[in-house]
Structure 1
Amino acid sequence: MDNSSHAPRGLRKALLASAVSAALITGSLLLPAADAQAENAVPTYQPWTGTTQGKATQKLIADLKAKIAQAEKDQAASPDFLDDLKKTLNEYEAATMVSQAQPFLDNFSDGEFTTNATWKVTAGQWQVDKSGSNRGLVSKIRQQANLNNLLGNLLNPQGTQQQGTGAQYAAIYTKAKLPGAFTASTKFTSKDRYGGLQLSLYQGASAQNQYRVAYQPGNNQGLMLQKVTANGATTLGAYNGAINLEDGGAHELTMTRDANGKMTVLLDGQLAINASDTSLKGDLDGILITNVGGSYWLREVSVKPLQ
């Protein structure tokens, strides 16, 4: 007698979650018993090692979905049970599926920025400084008017003057397939108490869509978290207070976003901004750094999937 449709729904879901978790470890859910117990059977799945783990997980989930669909067609199980099983499997897939995006790290220790990773300058001047306490990818721009509303199209070269010493801002980017749920950070040294530094993860060939965190020395909003689209920049959150990091030391600015769109900004490991946004979907296409006035040494830029 099938009692699965009469069990309390909460208990049934808990049992289903356990069943799916066990299946994802053993690869045995809904497999015929004879196949599972055959002593001389050739293994269907290879050991999950290194970069093969994501592919094995995707294959297993696809197989489970196919078996659930067949069970529905054959009316081989309670419809409520199959509905709960599909929901549990979808939730697991959304939470744990390995993205095709890759982690990114560049500390400029090789003394250049044009290969491994390949950064491209679109405005101002950038160079790697390996000497003294101020080291890293350096950019210097004289104090300008408020340029915090810079929008997309920053990946296109801005003309001879913009790439020279008279540039109003400095911009540099690198293409990289990055996860939509991420931890992005830069370790930097700041010298001038004006202007600002912006770290953006972008989508699109011209960085039309971005998530951007901005450090603004001398401003009464020392940090801002923004979403940038074709319609303009929207402030998702801000730290209302002056922040001055021009003490000669290195500082770390971190922006995170989880799979549910919850976002944070941390400065030197301390929470500064909480926000939420789900409007940008899928993976991201690269990293954009913009200097809107000041002298900055970027010691490290990193992006990794948010666990």
Structure 2
Amino acid sequence: MDNSSRGARKRAWIRAGQAGLLCAGLALGVALPTDGALAENAVPTYQPWTGTTQGKATQKLIADLKAKIAQAEMDQAASPDFLADLKKALADYEAATMVSQAQPFLDTFSDGEFATNPAWKVTAGSWQVDKSGSNRGLVSKIRQQANLNSLLGNLLNPQGTQTQANAQYAAIYTKAKLPGFFAASTKFTSKDRYGGLQMSLYQGASAQNQYRLAYQPGNNQGLVLQKVTASGATTLGAYNGALNLEDGNAHQLSWSRDSAGKMIVQLDGQTAISASDTSLGGDFDGILLTNVGGSYWLREVSVKPLQ
């Protein structure tokens, strides 16, 4: 076989390889760069995928496409720029799929219970829902204080039998797939000027990683924003001043985190803390509420993707 024949066969094989990769990319629903000749001559081999993005078939398709890209790179069967664009499109698709698994969360406790829709689980102390009077919502009352930094991880496991009289803290959590870049808020009423209320977004089966926002009545740092890991709690920012929210009114704590890790905490619409941290990546697995001393009525807890 002469060189011209071998060259013609090689060019035909390369075009076929490019067409196959392109069709696989289109099956994922991603936009890929093409040239005019390839778009004109390619014959579709695969049909567009219409199943769930979380199914096993999609996972297999992604794995197969990665393998074909790797083989094409090894055999130099396609343009390096084309393969780079295809890999980037695949990475963007996987990232978008991961984000889409997170869902907005809202509970106003207006149904009078917390065991279902959504399901909260008590691991320490006593919690109940109060639907009457000016103070209403998810209620927790603790008379003894616990040190803020002593409550690290493992709060999703029951703490054994504790009576309301001897409980040192109260904890309740709900599992929910929550976005890594979020806008969270809670509306609550506080009665006692001691102890504290903590709201955490956690990762892991034992809440080993958390971003935690704490209200501390009677403290010269009225609000504290922390990162909690197995190695301890790190303060990311604080409101340096006492806060007096024990006035019988409901107050709203709002808390956001953007894609650059910038976090803003607002109290009743006024910025109280600005901080930044990028060390906890990915989605969060749930919400943890902890009462370390005081009486609190939570009227609303919400988390949604940051717009």
User: Could you tell me how far apart the structure 1 residues matched to 2:40 and 2:119 are?
Assistant: 54
Question: Which position in structure 1 is the counterpart of 2:130?
Answer: 129
CA distance in 2, matches of 1:203, 1:287: 9
Match of 2:155 in 1: 154
Specify the SS of the correspondent of 1:109.
coil
Distance 1:262 1:282, change over 3 A: same
The structure-2 alpha-carbon separation of the partners of 1:175 and 1:85, relative to structure 1 and needing over 3 Å to count, comes to closer
Gaps of 5+ in 1: 1-23
Give 2:155's aligned amino acid: L
Letter matched to residue 40 of structure 2: A
Please state how far the C-alpha of 1:98 moved relative to its aligned partner.
3.4
AA aligned opposite 2:134: S
In the alignment, is the contact (CA less than 8 A) between 1:194 and 1:294 conserved in 2?
A: yes
Give the Cα–Cα distance (whole angstroms) in 2 for the partners of residues 117 and 170 of structure 1. Answer: 19
Partner of 1:102: 103
- How far apart, CA to CA, are the structure 2 residues paired with 1:28 and 1:147? 51
Equivalent position SS for 2:100: coil
What secondary structure sits across from 1:165 in the alignment? coil
Q: Secondary structure at the match of 1:275?
A: strand
The corresponding residue for 1:237 is: 237
Deviation of the 1:144 alpha carbon: 2.1
Alignment of 1:72-91 (within 5 A): 77=79, 79=80
Q: Does 1:259 align with 2:259?
A: yes
Alignment partners' CA distance in 2, 1:233 and 1:26: 41
Distance in 2 (CA, whole Å) between partners of 1:252 and 1:65 is: 47
Do the aligned partners of 1:30 and 1:67 also contact (CA within 8 Å) in 2?
no
Distance 1:159 1:26, change over 3 A: closer
- What amino acid maps onto 1:285 in structure 2? D
Pair 1:125–1:295, CA change in 2 (3 A): same
Report the CA distance shift for 1:93/1:118 in structure 2 as closer, same or farther (over 3 A).
closer
Say whether residues 1:272 and 2:272 are aligned partners.
Answer: yes
Q: How does 1:1-307 map to 2 (within 5 A)?
A: 27=31, 29-30=33-34, 32-34=38-40, 44=48, 77=79, 79=80, 98-144=99-145, 146-160=147-161, 162-307=162-307
Which secondary structure does the structure 2 equivalent of 1:98 belong to? helix
Amino acid at match of 1:133: S
Question: The residue matched to 2:40 in structure 1 has which SS?
Answer: helix
> SS at the partner of 2:99?
coil
Larger-Rg structure: 2
Cα 1:276–1:70 change in 2 (3 A) is same
Describe the shift of the 1:36–1:133 C-alpha distance in structure 2 as closer, same or farther (beyond 3 A): farther
Do the aligned partners of 2:33 and 2:85 also contact (CA within 8 Å) in 1?
no
Cα distance change, pair 270–26 in 1 and its aligned pair in 2 (3 A): same
Which residue of structure 1 lines up, in the alignment, with residue 23 of structure 2? none
Aligned-residue offset at 1:54: 9.5
* SS of the residue 1:252 aligns to: strand
**Superimposed CA distance per residue, residues 17-48 of structure 1 (whole angstroms, 9 cap, x where no aligned partner):** xxxxxxx999464384338999xxx98477xx
The answer to whether the Cα contact below 8 Å between 1:193 and 1:217 also exists between their aligned partners in 2 is yes
Q: Calculate the TM-score normalised by the size of structure 2.
A: 0.74
Q: Deviations over 1:129-181 (max 9, x none)?
A: 10111110011111425344311111122222x35332111111111122222
How far the C-alpha of 1:293 sits from its partner, in A, is 0.9
How many residue pairs match? The answer is 275
Paired with 1:166 and 1:95, the residues of 2 have a C-alpha distance of 47
How far 1:230 sits from its partner (Å)? Answer: 1.2
Overall identity of the aligned pairs, in %: 76
Question: For 2:146 and 2:261, how far apart are their aligned partners in 1?
Answer: 32
